[in-house]
């Protein structure tokens, strides 16, 4: 499996509700220096995002227009559009970008940003 396929699988895993509720799995995918710029405008640290995901209601995400760009042998920029479906709400789309670092034989996310798209 090449780096693009691995990174797509990891991003998809982080969109999966069962993964998001599992602090151990999320911790293993996020670098110690992880930071997220949320669509709300709030900045989250690794511990804050892990805690926030534990409180999240059951949601379903899909991804499209996935692109992986290797910026260096051990740094990748990922971009895609997500669609979030929450029970009883209209779908919400967002532009997403992540930076992944390859350390100690595995990819870890060091940065993520989500920017909501206006409703269609």
> How would you write the pLDDT of the chain (120 residues) with one tens digit per residue?
899 999 999 999 999 999 999 999 999 999 999 999 998 889 999 999 999 999 888 889 999 999 999 999 999 999 999 999 887 788 999 999 999 999 999 999 999 999 999 986
* CATH architecture group of domain 3-116: Roll (3.10)
Look up the pTM and report it: 0.92
For residue 20, count CB atoms less than 10 angstroms from its CB and return exposed for 0-12, middle for 13-18, buried for 19 or more: buried
Instruction: Sketch the domain layout of the chain as residue ranges.
Output: 3-116
Q: Alpha-carbon distance 17 to 43, whole Å?
A: 21
pLDDT at res. 56: 87
- Asked if 114 and 38 touch (Cβ cutoff 8 Å), the reply is yes
Nearest to 8 by CA among 66, 82, 76, 74: 66
pLDDT at res. 120: 66
């Amino acid at each position: 499996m090449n780096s693009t396929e691995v990174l797509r699988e990891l991003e998809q895993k982080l969109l999966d509700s069962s993964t998001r509720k599992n602090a151990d799995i999320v911790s293993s995918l996020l670098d110690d220096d992880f930071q997220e710029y949320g669509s709300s405008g709030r900045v989250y640290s690794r511990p804050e995002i892990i805690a926030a995901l534990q409180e999240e209601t059951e949601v379903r995400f899909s991804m499209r227009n996935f692109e992986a760009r290797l910026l260096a042998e051990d740094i990748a920029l990922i971009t895609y559009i997500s669609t979030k479906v929450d029970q009883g709400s209209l779908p919400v789309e967002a532009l997403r970008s992540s930076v992944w670092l390859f350390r100690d034989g595995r990819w870890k996310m060091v940065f993520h940003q989500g920017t909501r798209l206006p409703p269609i």
